[in-house]
Structure 1
């Protein structure tokens, strides 16, 4: 049965309308995965010597045990954001003579081979080899390694239970910060308390049964949870929410674009992920405080150009890169109506333009750090308005992955494809390159003027650019509709 499940998912991957982009992403991720694993092997080998150098009077295994609590909590937080749960489209199988226990075991078993679990092994196995080389007894090192792998599996299955739960995230993050603060300010000896507990896994090999029992317990809890929810009618009942209405009458001044603007504004306010983009953008206004006023960045004008593009265009990037995937749930319906596609895209451009202007106005107080900062931010805002908005809309024509707006905003990677990786080069890299070249070849004033002129020229060609982008969307229309109908499995 497991072989059939693997075969079905293999076919699903190759038959997907976004197969080409999925393959590119997987190849890129494979490269970074291999790099990460090799880095973990190097760290595992060097970890013994690093601990020995920092704490010459203490055994490395003892010092590592004192920090394992932080590793467990940090691993949970990391997986919360990064690890994608191995789900599959099980609805067609529920009407077939397939045991629900087999489906649940397959989902859980597949997650045991996650690259996140392998990363920990590639760290601890080399470390244990170095321990054995330096005379540590096998009878202690072997069970300790098994204990670490059992803890990794335990973390993996706990992540199943808490993943994408905002309350669980708050508890995990709060616990990690509080424990670290208590230990750092020496209010409570956290490491001295938990260190002996984790060191006991090495000192007393029989204790290996504890993490193994925890891993089995978390597996069983997840198994029961999944098995009890594998029913066709489990997804038929929908949540009922109180509807909040707003006429947004002020948008009518935009003429034919008003219905699209109203739709976007209501979508942004009513859904978690889109609403999060607004709050994230507002928070990143304070990003400049990390760099402005720092002596090491004062003379790095290209860094200030990065800040200008980034801060004034944060909503442009975060929201714009997923156009039109935000409307994926009803995009096919829109395309079947007599709706002017040009007005649809123009409304998106208008919304993003307003965000760029607002973000620039919010960065004006950075003039406190010098008029150069204000001038650079102004030039970057013009560049975003004239160039990056058409660029982001153009790349949107390659989006074919569906976005479920009712999903959690934290760690949600829905809609992400190769487009989101490639778009960084023209949106962020190109203006910084242009600014840097003219800054070093001529002057700061020349760089600011050139960046501003490019933005103004792009803004002057707005209609022609939108016409060309509209034609691009028309040619990609049916491929986008097909892609948006596919639900991630």
Structure 2
């Protein structure tokens, strides 16, 4: 039976239109996977001698066990945002005389072969071999490798439980972030030292291998918890049952002051507030707003003033980048209907432009408290804002004319690459890195003020030529309109 399931999924994967349309993306992800495997392999080989050199009086194994809490917490977070639930197209099997427990067990066992379970082994196995080679004993090395493999599988199945429960909430990614921050805070402030507890547990397992039965019991527990969750959902009714929810409406009277672009602005605001995927543009503003706290409190970055430009562009343009790179794909579900109406395309694009401009200005205002870390940061943020308003917004709008992939608005937003094409991967270079290079050229020759002035001047030039730029961009969209209609009609 397992052979038949595997054969079915193999054919389903390689015969799917997604595989045929996304070969370039799959190749790129393949290169990224190889890079990650090599990086983990290097880390696994190098970590023992590095720790031995830096801390000659301590046991490298004890040090590694002491930081496993952070390893496992990071692993859980990465899996939540990147790893998909173990699913297959099971509806055709539900009308066949197959035992449901076989289908569920196959789905769960298949998840054990996930790339996320193999990747840690590229670091775990080399480190275990280093333990054996440095007189820790063969049993110690093998038990440590086995314990790490078991904990990796526990996190694998624990992630599915967390994600299945989080999917029932409106903000699916919020519970895991809150839980992770709470665990980290409890550990950081020594309320509950999870790092010490987990480190002591791993040390005990290595010293007394019989204790490995405890994580094995945990693995069995999370496996059967997943089994029960999936078993309850393995009915045809679950797949066809319609979900109902109460609809809410708002007239958004305040948008009427924007004149001819008001209908399109209302459409964008309703699209953002009512759908999962675009709604992430709102919540990602919080991430962008606090992004500077990663750099500015660290004295190391105070001398890297060019870094202020990158952070400023990111903070003031986070909504612009996240929302703008998918114009007009946000409207792909009804793009044909929209284009059949008697509308002016320039007004349609101006509404997108106005929305991105307003949010960028709001983000700059909210980021003013960063002046606490120095007046130069505020000045650079202002220059970055002007550059975003005069340059980057037009880069995004122009790049949107090359979008050909339809977006499913109902899908969750976190690390969702559905609807992502080459345009989204390439547009980040001129948006984030070109302004840094533009700043560096006058900065190293004439000084800080010259670099800031260059960004502001370029932004002002773009604002002055707004009408001409929008006319050129509109022509490009009109030339691509029928190609986009045809592409959006096709399923991803």
Q: Is the 8 A contact 1:41 1:122 kept in 2?
A: yes
Per-residue deviation, 1:75: 1.8
1:241 aligned residue: 245
2:170 aligned residue: none
Deviations 1:464-489 (A, max 9, x none): 23323322541432343135x44xxx
Are residues 360 and 324 of structure 1, via their aligned partners in 2, closer, same or farther at CA, if it must alter by over 3 Å? same
RMSD of aligned Cα (Å): 3.3
Per-residue deviation, 1:358: 2.5
Residues 1:469 and 2:476 are matched in the alignment: yes
Query: Within 5 A, what are the aligned runs for 1:198-237?
Result: 198-237=202-241
* Count of aligned pairs between the two proteins: 477
| Secondary structure in 2 matching 1:421 | helix
Residues 1:320 and 2:324 are matched in the alignment: yes
| Separation of aligned partners in 1, 2:93 and 2:342 | 38
Per-residue deviation, 1:397: 3.7
Are residues 445 and 180 of structure 1, via their aligned partners in 2, closer, same or farther at CA, if it must alter by over 3 Å? closer
Deviations 1:98-118 (A, max 9, x none): 665555444333322222211
Per-residue deviation, 1:272: 4.8
1:133 aligned residue: 133
2:171 aligned residue: none
Query: Within 5 A, what are the aligned runs for 1:97-108?
Result: 100-101=100-101, 103-108=103-108
| Secondary structure in 2 matching 1:423 | helix
Query: Within 5 A, what are the aligned runs for 1:316-465?
Result: 316-335=320-339, 337-364=341-368, 373-459=377-463, 460=465, 461-465=468-472
Are residues 369 and 54 of structure 1, via their aligned partners in 2, closer, same or farther at CA, if it must alter by over 3 Å? closer
Question: Which of 306, 309, 318 is the matching residue for 2:310?
Answer: 306
Are residues 95 and 436 of structure 1, via their aligned partners in 2, closer, same or farther at CA, if it must alter by over 3 Å? farther
Q: Is the 8 A contact 2:187 2:193 kept in 1?
A: no
2:65 aligned residue: 65
Deviations 1:351-388 (A, max 9, x none): 11222232334445656777655554344323222321
Are residues 253 and 195 of structure 1, via their aligned partners in 2, closer, same or farther at CA, if it must alter by over 3 Å? closer
2:285 aligned residue: 281
2:24 aligned residue: 24
| Separation of aligned partners in 2, 1:440 and 1:233 | 66
Are residues 218 and 245 of structure 1, via their aligned partners in 2, closer, same or farther at CA, if it must alter by over 3 Å? same
Which range moved further: 155-164 or 365-374? 365-374
Residues 1:179 and 2:179 are matched in the alignment: no
Residues 1:36 and 2:36 are matched in the alignment: yes
Query: Within 5 A, what are the aligned runs for 1:88-127?
Result: 88-91=88-91, 94=94, 100-101=100-101, 103-127=103-127
The gaps in structure 2 that reach 5 residues or longer are 167-173
| Secondary structure in 1 matching 2:135 | coil
Question: Which of 479, 485, 491 is the matching residue for 1:478?
Answer: 485
| Separation of aligned partners in 1, 2:89 and 2:340 | 27
| Secondary structure in 2 matching 1:322 | coil
| Separation of aligned partners in 1, 2:483 and 2:23 | 20
The gaps in structure 1 that reach 5 residues or longer are none
User: Normalised by the size of structure 1, how large is the TM-score?
Assistant: 0.84
Per-residue deviation, 1:134: 2.2
Are residues 298 and 172 of structure 1, via their aligned partners in 2, closer, same or farther at CA, if it must alter by over 3 Å? closer
Q: Is the 8 A contact 2:328 2:400 kept in 1?
A: yes
Per-residue deviation, 1:414: 4.2
| Separation of aligned partners in 1, 2:143 and 2:8 | 35
Per-residue deviation, 1:8: 1.0
Q: Is the 8 A contact 2:281 2:319 kept in 1?
A: yes
